[in-house]
Amino acid sequence: MPSISMFYGLIVYMYFMDNKQHKLPHIHVKHQDNEVIVQIHDGTVLD
């Protein structure tokens, strides 16, 4: 999984073919043991 940014302990990942889980263009942001999945288009939290 490629990381595209790292700052303040946050790591932003973009998965190339992750169409099974969310079907929308999105990024995964991880901080320690927490993760949020955010839609790229408008910033809506998907999971």
Is residue 4 over pLDDT 90?
Answer: no
The stretch 5-18 carries a mean pLDDT of: 83
Write out pLDDT tens, residues 13-34: 887 666 666 677 888 899 999 9
Q: Is the pTM of this model over 0.85?
A: no
Kindly state the tokens that stand for 46.
């998907």
Q: How far apart are CA 20 and CA 34, in angstroms?
A: 21
The one-character DSSP state at 45 is B
User: Residue 31 has what pLDDT?
Assistant: 93
pLDDT reported for residue 24: 75
3-state secondary structure of 11: strand
